[in-house]
Structure 1
Amino acid sequence: MTARAAVELLRPGVDSPPESRLRLLIHNAGLPEPEVNQWIAGPDGRAISRPDLQYRRLRIALEYEGEHHLLDPAQWHRDIERDDRLRQVGWVVLRFTKKHLRQENAPATVEKIRRTLLDRGWRPGQSV
């Protein structure tokens, strides 16, 4: 890959390299590009969550969970609460770890995302 091609794949607002790897996995599979770290408001207009990646129109949130999420009880609790808030307003939350990004697991990870996109009304060739 050339430097120019790599620069075109960069996105502002990404919080971690694994989030970028997940987004690039999605991109390389030919799936629509998700938004990066954008706030979601609840029915009252208050911010309720800022998923790592999301398909706003389809209400799909993708979260990369680093190991610190499991090792820090307070963080784990916040993650559960965050996901519950999203589900309460009709979102699907897909969670991923470093094992999902491994080469041998990448096809299943892509299929999980593709299936969820299709279940939520996306069709290949459509923008989201």
Structure 2
Amino acid sequence: MQRGSDRMSAHRDDEMKHELQGLLRSGHPTRTEEWHGPEPPAEDDPDVTHGPVTPGRGPTYLEALRLELARNLTRGSFPAGPRELTRTLRHGNAPDALVGEVDRLPDRARYGNVQELAVALTEAGPTRPGGA
């Protein structure tokens, strides 16, 4: 039951729903002007998700890796093997270091979600400089 105390009419309410429909369905900003959207963090920005960055504080390697994978992969990307995931990451302009880590996983492996992929990458360990 509506009491008429709304600030907007039902017609304006429907207009606003229609305006937001593209954003809600797509999952990403739908504005054409780039300056409207927030600027993404740079790869070398400090991670401040958990507050100020201090020694001994912050996410573990698994948590940070899982977060980075979740930023670049969707649920529709799974289940998949390393080749499909590498292709998806490259298509989404993921950081080269992340693409390289996924690319060196065994070709026959299949991953059902981001967690399984992050665990496999953690167990494989990060690549060493110099190819060692």
Name the larger-Rg structure: 2
More helix by share: 2
TM-score, length basis structure 2: 0.24
Higher relative contact order (CA 8 A, sep 6+): 1
More strand by share: 1
When normalised by structure 1's length, the TM-score is 0.24
